[in-house]
């Protein structure tokens, strides 16, 4: 037969149980401190200027934001230079492809990965036009590859 839980066993279990619960709750409470509520980063908004500053067929690079901006006839798109593998900054090769110096991931001109360890392509970044007509990109907002700000 199962031995009965005596009153003393019960209060002991209760005592230890509440002790460990208190310890657990305090530790969990303290750990919350470590998770930042506000990311202390510089603004992720990049001012690209008026669309006329990027005539079709040109491209620009914004090193502080690691951002490529390409302008074509139909529209303008932005591709992040941060490698989706482990965060190095890719280089653009003369033929328009991108190459990561850290573990050799290679991307085509549209940012799709075709060699190396990167788990996905280079992220495309959203471009918006502010009411005053100036274009902005926000490197924190990605969009599906192929999304352009269209001139139309």
Partner 1 sequence: MAEAFKSFLVNLKRLPRTFWGSLRRRGEATSDRARSQAVFSNLFLHIHSVKTHKNSLKPSFTLGLGLLTTACLVILTVTGILLMVYYKPTTELAYASIKDIHFVVPTGRMIRNLHRWAAHGMVIGVFLHMARVFYTASYRPPREFNWFAGVALLALTLALSFTGYLLPWDQLAFWATTIGVNIASSPRELTDALGLTQYFDPGGLIKQLLLGANTVGSEALIRFHLLHVMVLPIMLFAILGVHFWRIRKDGGLSRPASADPPTDGEFFPKSETKTYGLMAVVRGKTPAVGRAPENTVNSWPHLFTAEMAVFMFATAVLLVLSLTLDAPLTEAANAAIPENPAKAPWYFLGLQELVSYSGFMGGIGVPMITLLGLLLIPYLDREKGDVGVWFSGPEGRRVAIQSVFYSSALVIGLLALVINFGWLREWYPDIPQLVITFVNPGTVFTIGFAAWSFWIMRRHDSTRMAAIALFTCFLVGYIILTYVGTVHRGPNWDFYWSQADWPAH
The answer to whether the Cα torsion of 128, 130, 136, 139 is positive or negative is negative
- Segment near ligand FES (CB under 6 A), from 23-31, 33-41, 102-110, 144-152? 102-110
Q: In the set 67, 69, 81, 83, which binds ligand FES (CB under 6 A)?
A: 83
The beta-strand segments (E) located in 54-147 are: 59-62, 67-71, 75-80, 91-92, 98-99, 106-107, 113-115, 124-129, 135-143
The answer to whether the Cα torsion of 75, 115, 60, 41 is positive or negative is positive
- Segment near ligand FES (CB under 6 A), from 24-32, 73-81, 101-109, 144-152? 101-109
- Segment near ligand FES (CB under 6 A), from 2-10, 13-21, 81-89, 122-130? 81-89
Q: Each residue of 103-125: b (16+ CB within 10 Å) or e? A: eebbbeebbebeeeebeebbbbb
Q: Closest CB to ligand FES among 51 and 121?
A: 121
Q: Check residue 146 and report its DSSP letter.
A: T
Question: Around 109, how many Cα atoms within 13 Å sit in the side-chain half-sphere?
Answer: 7
- What does 145 bind: ligand FES, partner 1, none (CB cut-off 5 to 8 Å by kind)? none
- Among the listed residues 73, 72, 69, the one whose alpha carbon sits nearest the alpha carbon of residue 49: 69
Residues that bind ligand FES (rule: CB under 6 A) add up to a total of: 12
- What does 40 bind: partner 1, ligand FES, none (CB cut-off 5 to 8 Å by kind)? partner 1
Residue 19: CB minimum distance to ligand FES, A: 47
Q: Closest CB to partner 1 among 28 and 34?
A: 34
Residue 123: CB minimum distance to ligand FES, A: 13
Q: Which residues contact ligand FES by CB under 6 A?
A: 83, 85-88, 100, 102-103, 105, 116-118
């Amino acid at each position: 037969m199962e031995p009965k839980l005596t009153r003393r066993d019960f209060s002991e279990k209760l005592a230890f149980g509440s002790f460990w619960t208190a310890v657990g709750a305090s530790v969990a409470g303290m750990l919350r401190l470590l998770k930042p509520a506000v990311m202390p980063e510089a603004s992720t908004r990049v001012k690209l200027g008026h669309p006329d500053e990027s005539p079709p067929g040109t491209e620009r690079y914004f090193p502080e934001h690691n951002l490529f901006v390409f302008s074509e006839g139909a529209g303008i798109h932005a591709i992040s230079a941060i490698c989706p593998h482990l965060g190095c900054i890719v280089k653009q090769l003369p033929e328009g492809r991108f190459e990561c110096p850290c573990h050799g991931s290679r991307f085509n001109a549209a940012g799709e990965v075709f060699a190396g360890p990167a788990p996905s392509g280079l992220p495309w970044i959203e471009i918006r036009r502010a009411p005053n007509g100036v274009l902005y990109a926000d490197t924190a907002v990605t969009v599906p590859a192929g999304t352009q700000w269209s001139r139309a």
